[in-house]
């Protein structure tokens, strides 16, 4: 089978995890390839996500690498064998890859924790709010591209309809809630939608008020996606042009600590609902 031209984030993550296991075992790609009866080029493609790995190969490699973490091995086998054509595939020819990678990661996430200071979390934006956001940055998007971005952002909430939806925790700064993106009517609708989402059994929303003196992170913005095992967690950090995905153990640990620190500066869930209700009433 020829190498994939455009491997997904999930393909690449599987390959990266296999590479980490090999490196911890102190084996070269050539040595690992010989254990599978293949060549170094094939092994390199597998570890880059350009070539698939069967369940049998994943388990053989884990055995050769002396990996005894059965939960991790089972999770990697699932990644290798699942055949899911996600809803985001319809956007593959119209949206940049990072949009699709985020959708795929959210679809498979068991938990989602996000911090936003000057914007509403994407998965919680109303259609009108999302349109105002995408319509803001120059140069103007062609109408069909704008509609694709808005439609994709709204559809990300499909994860809430899963049989076992992910646990979603959002910490949002008061600054983001007070911005009248799209005008007062759109902002009011957005606040009311946050109140509606906060009643969902798997969603927790907390606000950091301007008066929270222990908060000093105006540039903080992150989305932490929990995997089936901790080693498969991913964090997305926004940049001016795109979102960057990170999965190194040290990076994940840093952002788990950051989330806990920011959360400690926020209001409780009930106080947050009262806070948002007052903001919406005063608009």
Q: Domain ranges in the chain?
A: 9-81, 89-282
Average the pLDDT over 70-85 and give the result: 92
162-215 tens-digit pLDDT:
889 999 999 999 999 999 999 999 999 999 999 999 999 999 999 999 998 888
H helix runs in the chain, sequence order:
9-24, 29-36, 40-47, 55-64, 70-81, 97-108, 127-134, 143-155, 174-178, 184-198, 249-263, 269-282
State if pTM tops 0.85.
yes
CATH architecture type of domain 9-81: Orthogonal Bundle (1.10)
Please give the DSSP secondary-structure letter assigned to residue 166: P
Q: Give dist(CA 89, CA 160) in Å, integer.
A: 19
Q: What is the CATH number of domain 89-282?
A: 3.30.870
Strand ranges (E), 198-257: 203-208, 222-226, 234-238, 243-246
| C-alpha Rg value of the chain to the nearest Å | 21
Q: What is the DSSP string of 90-122?
A: GGTTTS-HHHHHHHHHHHH-SEEEEEESSS--G
pLDDT at 3: 64
pLDDT of residue 5: 66
Given a cut of 70, whether residue 1 has pLDDT beyond it is: no
pLDDT digits (tens, 9 = 90+) for 201-229: 999 999 999 998 888 777 788 999 999 99
Q: Output the CA–CA distances (angstroms, integers) from residue 200 to 151, 161, 180, 193, in the order listed.
A: 22, 11, 25, 11
């Amino acid at each position: 089978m020829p190498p994939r031209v455009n491997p997904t984030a999930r393909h690449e993550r599987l390959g990266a995890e296999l590479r980490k296991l090999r490196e911890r075992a102190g084996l070269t790609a050539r040595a690992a390839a010989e254990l599978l009866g293949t060549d170094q080029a094939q092994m390199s493609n597998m570890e880059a996500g350009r070539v698939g790995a069967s369940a049998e190969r994943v388990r053989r490699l884990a055995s050769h690498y002396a990996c005894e973490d059965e939960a991790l091995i089972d999770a990697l086998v699932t990644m290798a064998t699942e055949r899911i054509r996600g809803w985001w595939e319809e956007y593959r020819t119209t949206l940049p890859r990072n949009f699709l990678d985020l959708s795929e990661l959210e679809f498979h996430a068991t938990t989602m924790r996000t911090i936003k200071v000057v914007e509403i979390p994407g998965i919680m934006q109303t259609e009108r709010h999302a349109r105002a956001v995408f319509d803001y940055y120059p140069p103007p998007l062609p109408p069909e591209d704008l509609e694709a971005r808005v439609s994709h952002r709204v559809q990300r909430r499909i994860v809430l309809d899963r049989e076992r939806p992910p646990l979603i925790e959002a910490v949002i700064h008061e600054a983001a809630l007070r911005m009248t993106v799209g005008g007062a009517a759109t902002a009011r609708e957005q606040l009311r939608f946050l109140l509606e989402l906060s009643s969902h059994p798997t969603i927790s929303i907390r606000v950091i008020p301007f008066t929270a003196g222990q908060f000093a992170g105006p540039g903080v913005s992150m989305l932490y996606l929990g995997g089936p095992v901790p080693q498969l967690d991913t964090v997305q950090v926004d940049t001016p042009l795109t979102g960057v995905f990170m999965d190194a153990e040290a990076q994940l640990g840093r952002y788990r600590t950051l989330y806990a620190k920011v959360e400690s500066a926020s209001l409780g869930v009930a106080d947050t609902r009262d806070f948002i209700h007052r903001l919406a009433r005063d608009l």
